[in-house]
Amino acid sequence: MNQPEIPLTRYLAPDGRPCATLPPWAADVDLLTRLYRQMVLTRLFDLKAVALQRTGRIGTYAPTLGQEAIGVAIGSLMRPEDVLVPYYRDTAVQLMRGVRMEEILLYWGGDERGSDFQDPAVAEDFPLCVPIATQALHACGVATAFKIRGQHRVAVTTCGDGATSKGDFLEALNVAGAWQLPVVFVINNNQWAISTPRRIQSGAPSLAQKALGAGFAGEQADGNDVLAVYDRMQAALERARQGKGPVLLECLSYRLGDHTTADDATRYRSAEEVKRAWEEEPIKRLQGFLAGQGLWDEGREQALVADCQARVQRAVDNFEAAGNQPPEAVLDYVYARWPAALMDQREVLLERAARRAGGQGHE
Amino acid sequence: MKYFKLPDLGEGLQEAEIVEWHVKPGDAVKADQLLVSVETAKAIVDIPAPYDGVVCKTFGGAGDILHVGEPLLAYEGEEDAGTVVGRLEGGHGGAQEDSFFIGAAPSTREHLAPRATPAVRQLARRLGVDLAGLAGSGADGLISAADVEAAAQGERERFGGERLRGVRRSMAINMARAHAEVVPVTLYGDADLHRWKAARDPLIRLAKAIAHACTVEPVLNSWFDGRGPSIRRHDRLDLGIAVDTPDGLFVPVLRNVGERSAEDLKQGMARLRADVQARSIPPQEMMGATLTLSNFGTLFGRYANPVVVPPQVAIIGAGGIRDEVVAWQGAPAVHPILPLSLTFDHRAVTGGEAARFLKALVQALEAP
Amino acid sequence: MSEVKRCTLLEAVNLALHRAMRESEDVLVLGEDVGINGGVFRATLGLREAFGFKRVIDTPLAETMIAGLSVGMAAQGLKPVLEIQFLGFVFAALEQLLAHAARLRCRTRGRLSCPLVLRSPMGAGIRAPEHHSESTEALFAHIPGLRVVIPSSPARAYGLLLAAIDDPDPVVFLEPTRLYRMNPQPLADDGRRLPLDSCFTLREGGDITLVSWGASVHETLQAAERLAGQDVSAEVIDVACLKPLDLDTLEASVRKTGRCVIVHEAPRSCGVGAEIAASLYERALLDLQAPIQRVTAPDIPPPLYRLEQLYLPGVEDILAACEATLNYA
């Protein structure tokens, strides 16, 4: 069988040394440093979120460990007027876009205010999406609105390798190709969908080539190489913004953490495999490159870490100080206005809240 | 096995090199007990046990590098969390017996209604059949309409008797209906007929006297509708006269009693009676009575409380005229006495109105 | 083997699956993470090892596919027991269920049929993220051609799941997540089936009938215990089989007690409680001493876990409804 040629982009080898001619923009030291700093912040925040779950201060959380490069690259390239339609393992891109750390903590901490983003830059971004791949179609809808209105804006949507098996994903690709929508699909192929490994998820050699069935370009990038992701993302966004249609970018990475804080991946994969994957991880890779160029050192590392820790701690403090929503909040946002016909339910709810407050709990 | 993974070492450190293990597989460890010492880029860090347990397996030896999140040690025998989101509350010990009844509890079984559709239930109600204890011929013992009808037939056969038809049937139905609606009160009185010159047809005198009483208390000559409630007064008296026949009770109506002469009324009554005897009376002749007179005295009896038939509000009962000893001007005397009963529907008529009506009726009768 | 072991509801499900797969080669299990991982809740633990990869299938991530495939397999005479990882993810499978599973027998006049069992964890109360707390049993109960079963104890889970797998019609078998590991009870792996068209009376009483299903049975039983302390004897009925409903048992109980409170976690409007109340009014209006009360969630999506306790009916809520019913004029 003739398999199509799917380009794979990689600039840095796992140890940080260039393995291909770097693109011109990679000479921008400030840019690279910014990318590095953001990846470190993401990781530290991500680890903190896991710790908060372990100590019961937030609920189940989906860690991004090892996949920071993808989100940071996407988030740094999207414009404020673009719209992000994420899945649920998107701490990296959310932070880069302008979602606040305390909002992320509120969301996983069981408080809907976490999806009411305050920063104007993310006013139209979608919240995290749990039902797999359904967000891909939302992105197509957003892109359709852009197209109808003649706006030069792009919808960017992310998903995992598991999501590419779902009907929603394939229907999204199809309509994006049929209508030449200004949408960029980014697959975070971290090789695992809970316990399902990539090889039994699909018979296709690459997930990127699913775009071909929908009539547009699909390509791969090394998801642990932030330069590669940045480069291909930049091209994809430009293409979409110019009205030349959608792009599917499959980023190859590895899920170094568990599926969620409640999952235990040691049940279904070997420690050796995880150990090997650590050698490819993105932060060490870029650090290796920067250090090799004489652009990074231990002192700067320590200062960065200290700064990030402080920022994370401030966010945690804000999160803890956020308090709880009032009981009426469960009703107030279901409709534009809670219907008069259901007003008796409001009374029942407040009675129930009073009982709970009086210590007459559920458990 | 429950895995304990290398925790966040702080300060952004991703990995550590194992320096020395302080426990080995098989050891029982307590929470916070020192498990292993690892070296990071900064310092040597001691890792404590997160909870009590028995060590099943350790990962890596001195000199090996482990990354944050990689398994460090496995505890023995601990159940895994067994979830991928949230937190499942564990067993609350006390293995109380899970005893339950399939379906209804014993004391509830007595209340299990016989299985029948609403239509069949209604049929049973109408026919007066009790569904309990009835065996259904349908699937799962479902009781069918045929089962109900057979039971009703069976009951009738056990009861014996002939089915009522025609007038007797109407009487059974109408009396039951009247009883359900009317609030009856009966007033009794006597008319002393000693002033009557000659023996007159008491029926016609009664009719005229009733017509007179209606002018005194017109409310008794009305129709009442309990649903409104509303009342409709009549200008003329159409008096229903109860006539007894071998086939049952007929009540032909003597029209416009107040305006007609005694002679006219007498002839009219004779005609009605003849038609009744001959079974040729048209139904219209028995409709529209505004008041009814039951002259049962021609047969036997003195007083009664006859049934008010809606929409009428009253009925007069006349008993047999007989000589009685009365007190007359201070001395006993023998006078012909006509016993009267007035039953009225207290939903529409007051006691006062009824009393005044009866008084007027008696006074009209007692006139010469 | 009829040895008696203490089992949680989850373990009872696992036990029933093992037995069903032993008893018939046509029974197979499919879904996401059911094989090697044994299911995200471990409901299918050990099945892959015991019965192999052809009968315990780790599928790609696609609920429409899982349901549609099951329709095809069932039509061929296999007995697929498909797992939808959380009820909140069943919606992609609804078309296959409604348009096909529920109708195949009817459309072909019995020539083809669809004896599948859809298993899914349902309900709130485990501090889960969004979309993992749904109680949409009313959606399924509304579909002609489907059976809907919700166990509330290990013994009933075991007996009802075996019966569901036996049943020639499609069964939606919803497992209350909150009860998965609670209250382990002695259970014999004796293969005894329970009927799929019966309620279960958990507690006999004469003053008031408490009707519930799923995780709410837990709170309902606690409320009955509290009522006993107030000298009120409550009869507790676990509906368990929501479609078809055993209205005869419910009716008889209400005729006996004259008072009824229905407790369910799903939102109030158009919940199965409404169907039960309407049917009881039709059958036993003249035996009721007070209106039937429903204690439910309000008409809202399940909130994120911090406000979850306002959504879930609690023991005190049930007691308040009982008081209103018992003290009705």
For chain C, which domains are there? 4-188 (3.40.50.970), 200-326 (3.40.50.920)
Give per-residue pLDDT as tens, A123-140. Answer: 999 999 999 999 999 999
Residues from B in contact with A at Cβ < 8 Å: 3, 7-8, 11-12, 14-15, 59, 67-71, 80-81, 83-87, 89
Taking CA atoms, C198 is separated from A181, B295, C91, C179, C193, in Å, by 54, 66, 28, 21, 12
What per-residue confidence (pLDDT) applies to A361?
A: 45
- Cβ atoms C6, C185 nearer than 8 A: yes
CATH 3.40.50.150 corresponds to the domain B170-366: no
Which member of C18, C131, C132, C264 is catalytic? C132
Q: Is A249 helix (H, G, I), strand (E, B) or coil?
A: strand
Given CB atoms, is C303 within the 8 Å cutoff of chain A? yes
Across the interface, do C131 and A130 touch by the CB < 8 Å criterion?
yes
Greater confidence (B333 vs B95) lies with B333
- Indicate left, alpha or beta for B263 from its phi (over 0: left) and psi (-120 to 50: alpha): alpha
pLDDT band at B4 (very low <50, low <70, confident <90, very high): confident
Q: Residue A250: beta bridge partners?
A: A187, A220
Q: Are residues A246 and A347 in the same domain?
A: no
CA distance B241 to B289: 9
Give the DSSP H/E element, type plus range, for residue B200: none
d(CA A356, CA A349): 10
Residue C329 pLDDT more than 90?
A: no
The C-alpha R_g of chain A, in whole angstroms, comes to 22
Under the banding of pLDDT at 50, 70 and 90, the label for residue A362 is very low
Q: Are strands A247-252 and A155-160 parallel, antiparallel or unpaired?
A: unpaired
Domain that holds residue A360: 327-363
List b or e across B278-290, with b for residues whose CB sees 16 or more CB atoms inside 10 angstroms.
Answer: eeebeeebbeebb
CA B321 to CA B339: how far, in whole Å?
7
pLDDT of C91 = 96
Query: C-alpha distances in angstroms, C118 versus A187, C36, C96, C149?
Result: 30, 20, 12, 10
* Long-range contacts from C310-313, C-beta under 8 angstroms, 24+ separation: C310/A327, C310/A330, C310/A349, C310/A352, C310/A353, C310/A356, C311/A330, C311/C124, C311/C265, C312/A362, C312/C124, C312/C125, C312/C265, C313/C216, C313/C219, C313/C263, C313/C264, C313/C265
Helix, strand, or coil here: B338? strand
Residue C314, classified by CB atoms within 10 Å of its CB into exposed (0-12), middle (13-18) or buried (19+), is buried
pLDDT bracket for residue C300 (50, 70, 90): very high
Is pLDDT above 80 for B51? no
Average pLDDT value for chain A:
95
Using CA atoms, how far residue A136 sits from A208, C96, C103, in Å, is: 15, 21, 31
**Contact call for A132 and C89, based on CB within 8 A:** yes
What pLDDT, in 10s, does the model give residues A112-126?
A: 999 999 999 999 999
Count, residues in chain B: 368
How many whole angstroms separate alpha carbon B117 and alpha carbon A55? Answer: 60
Rounded Cα distance, A186 and A174, in Å? 15
Three-state DSSP class for A38? helix
CATH 4.10.320 given to domain B117-159: yes
Tell me if A65 and B69 make a contact (CB, 8 A cut-off): yes
- Bridge partners for C174 per DSSP: C120
Q: Are residues A260 and A347 in the same domain?
A: no
Q: Is residue A3 part of a domain?
A: no
How large is the average pLDDT for residues A280-305? Answer: 96
Residues A211 and A123 in one domain: yes
The pLDDT score that the predictor gives to residue A302 is 94
Amino acid identity at A39: M
B112 φ, ψ (degrees, to nearest 5):
-65, 115
> Alpha-carbon distance B349 to B347, whole Å?
6
Closest Cβ–Cβ partner in A262, A274, A281 for B86? A262
* d(C-alpha C34, C-alpha B102), whole Å: 32
DSSP state for residue C131 in the 8-state scheme: T
C185 pairs with which residues across the strands?
A: C7
- Do the beta carbons of residue B123 and residue B148 sit within 8 Å? yes
Residue type present at position B302: R
Using 50, 70 and 90 to split pLDDT, how confident is the model at B15?
confident
- What are the tokens at B60? 């890596």
Judged by a CB distance cut-off of 8 A, whether residue C98 touches chain A is no
pLDDT for B22: 94
The strand pair at A217-222 and A247-252 is best described as: parallel
Residue B233, number of CB atoms within 10 A of its CB:
12
Residue A177 within any structural domain of the chain? yes
CA distance A112 to A325: 9
Do A180 and A219 lie in one domain? The reply is yes
A234 domain-assigned:
yes
What residues does C83 pair with on adjacent strands? C31, C119
pLDDT given for residue B316 in this prediction:
97
Tracing tokens 């976690």 back to the chain, one arrives at: C265
Is residue A247 classed as helix, strand or coil in its secondary structure?
Answer: strand
Give the chain C residue nearest A127 (alpha carbons): C130
Q: Give the model confidence (pLDDT) of B326-363 as tens digits.
A: 999 999 999 999 999 999 999 999 999 999 999 999 99
Please give the average per-residue pLDDT across C93-112, as a whole number.
Answer: 95
Average pLDDT value for residue range B81-86:
83
Instruction: List the one residue out of A79, A118, A114 whose CA is nearest residue A96.
Output: A79
Omega before B336 within 30 of 0, i.e. cis: no
Mean pLDDT lowest for which of A25-29, A95-99, B261-265?
A: B261-265
Maximum Cα interatomic distance, chain B, rounded to a whole number of Å: 146
* Per-position DSSP letters for B217-276, written without gaps between them: SGGGSEEEETTTTEEEE-SS--EEE-EEETTEEE--EE--GGGS-HHHHHHHHHHHHHHH
Nearby residues of C165 by Cβ (< 8 Å), 6 or more positions away:
C16, C20, C27, C79, C81, C117
| HSE (side-chain half, CA atoms, 13 Å) at C255 | 20
Q: Are B366 and B338 in contact (CB under 8 A)?
A: no
**Does the pLDDT value for residue C272 go beyond 90?**
yes
C257 in Cβ contact with C163 (< 8 Å): no
What pLDDT score does B131 carry? 87
Q: Is residue A1 part of a domain?
A: no
> Are residue A173 and residue A312 in the same domain, yes or no?
yes
pLDDT at residue B73 tops 60:
yes
Strand partners, B16: B66
* Per-residue pLDDT, C161: 98
Q: Do C37 and A327 touch (CB under 8 A)?
A: no
Q: Is A297 exposed, middle or buried (CB count within 10 Å of its CB: 0-12, 13-18, 19+)?
A: exposed
Distance from CA of B82 to the nearest CA of A (A): 8
Tell me, yes or no, if A291 comes closer than 8 A to chain B by beta carbon.
Answer: no
The C-alpha atoms of residue A12 and residue A9 are separated, in whole angstroms, by 10
CB-CB under 8 Å, A362 with C309: yes
- Total length of chain C: 329
pLDDT for residue B158 is more than 90: no
Is B100's CB within 8 Å of C42's CB?
no
C147-149 and A183-189 strand pairing: unpaired
Query: Percent of chain B scored above 90 by pLDDT?
Result: 55
Using the Cβ of C184 and the Cβ atoms of chain B, whether some distance falls under 8 Å is answered with: yes
Tokens standing for residue B168: 């007797």
Q: Are residues A110 and C131, on separate chains, in Cβ contact within 8 Å? A: no
Same domain, A275 and A194: yes
Q: What is the pLDDT of residues C138-163, one digit of tens each?
A: 999 999 999 999 999 999 999 999 99
Model confidence band, residue B170 (pLDDT cutoffs 50, 70, 90): confident
Mean local confidence (pLDDT), A55-76 = 96
- CATH number assigned to the domain covering B2-75: 2.40.50.100
Q: Do C195 and B107 touch (CB under 8 A)?
A: no
pLDDT value at residue B156 = 80
- What mean pLDDT comes out for the span B277-289? 89
The Cα–Cα gap between C195 and C321 comes to 31
The pLDDT, as a whole number, for residue B117 is 83
Structural tokens at position B111: 């209340």
Measure B69 CA to nearest chain A CA, in Å.
Answer: 6
Q: Note whether B113 contacts C204, CB cutoff 8 Å.
A: no
**Domain termination site, one of A320, A339, A354:** A320
Q: Considering CB atoms only, which of C299, C303, C317 is closest to A345?
A: C299
Residues 213-242 of C with CB under 8 A from A: 219
Structure confidence at residue A320 as a pLDDT band (50, 70, 90): very high
Number of structural domains found in chain A = 2
Shortest Cα–Cα distance, C143 to chain A (Å) = 23
Q: Phi and psi at residue A183, in whole multiples of 5°?
A: -135, 140
Residues 73-132 of A with CB under 8 A from B: none
Q: Least CA distance to B81: which residue of chain A?
A: A262
Supply φ then ψ for residue C31, to 5 degrees. Answer: 160, -175
Local confidence band at A363 (pLDDT 50, 70, 90 cut-offs): very low
The per-residue pLDDT for range C121-132, each reduced to its tens digit, is: 999 999 999 999
The average pLDDT across A309-331 equals 96
Q: Name the least confident of A150-164, A241-255, B45-59, C253-267.
A: B45-59
- Pairwise CB contact (< 8 Å): A334 & C301: yes
The span from the CA of C243 to the CA of B85, in Å, is: 29
Residues A147 and A183 in one domain: yes
Range in A225-229, B71-75, B190-194, C216-220 the model is least confident about? B71-75
- Partner residue opposite B12 with nearest CB, options A40, A264, A275: A40
Residue-wise pLDDT tens digits, C57-86: 999 999 999 999 999 999 999 999 999 999
Note whether A351 and A291 are same-domain residues.
Answer: no
Q: Which pLDDT does position A167 carry in this prediction?
A: 97
| Residue B359 sits at the chain C interface (C-beta within 8 Å) | no
3-state secondary structure of B79: coil
Looking at the predicted structure, is the pLDDT value of residue C321 above 70?
yes
Token pair for residue B284?
Answer: 């219209």
Whole-angstrom Cα distance, residue B273 to residue C12?
88
pLDDT over 80 at B19, yes or no: yes
DSSP-H helix ranges across C108-259 = 137-141, 154-166, 216-229, 247-257
pLDDT of residue B1: 59
Rounded to the nearest integer, the mean pLDDT of chain B is: 89
Q: Is the peptide bond before C303 cis (omega within 30 degrees of 0)?
A: no
* ipTM of predicted assembly, 2 dp: 0.89
Residue numbers in B near A309 (CB within 8 A): 11-12
Same structural domain, A226 and A358 = no
| C-alpha torsion sign, points B102, B103, B108, B114 | negative
pLDDT at B42: 72
B52–chain A nearest CA distance, Å: 17
The bridge status of strand B314-318 relative to strand B322-328 is unpaired
Task: Identify the sign of the CA torsion A204, A210, A216, A222.
Answer: negative
Q: What is d(CA C110, CA B208) in angstroms, rounded to the nearest whole number? A: 82
Task: Tell me the domain boundaries of chain B.
Answer: 2-75, 117-159, 170-366
A128 close to C320: Cβ distance less than 8 angstroms: no
User: Within 10 A of A249 (CB to CB), how many other CB atoms are there?
Assistant: 27
Residue A260 has pLDDT above 60, yes or no: yes
DSSP character at residue A335? S
Give the tokens for residue B149.
Answer: 């009808």
